[in-house]
Amino acid sequence: SPSSLYMADISITTPSSDAASEMGIREWPQQAKKGAWEEKSSDGQTLVRYVLDGKGTIDIVDNDDSSSRSGKLSPGTLVEVSGDATLS
């Protein structure tokens, strides 16, 4: 279907400390998020979030086809979302 061309690309990984250092993750701007929150990415945009501290779960909904993906978050988790999606 044509909408599949625009599906969000979702990646939830745990890079090694060496890989994280090579990406410069420790130098990225930091922001604290506690409790429930929601964030949206749009077509042509990539959201990248790295968990430094804490644990939780994330739900990512592809706004084009309403498919969803969930994952557990813990220190060292890297979340990358490209396309029209909602993270919560």
Q: CB–CB of 8/65 below 8 Å?
A: no
pTM, entire model: 0.83
pLDDT at 6 over 70: no
Question: Which pLDDT belongs to residue 4?
Answer: 44
Residue with tokens 């993750």: 25
67 half-sphere exposure, CB direction, 13 A CA radius: 11
Residues 7-26: what's their mean pLDDT?
Answer: 90
* pLDDT, the chain, mean: 88
The span from the CA of 83 to the CA of 54, in Å, is 26
pLDDT at 76 over 90: yes
Would strands 46-50 and 78-82 be described as parallel, antiparallel, or unpaired?
Answer: antiparallel
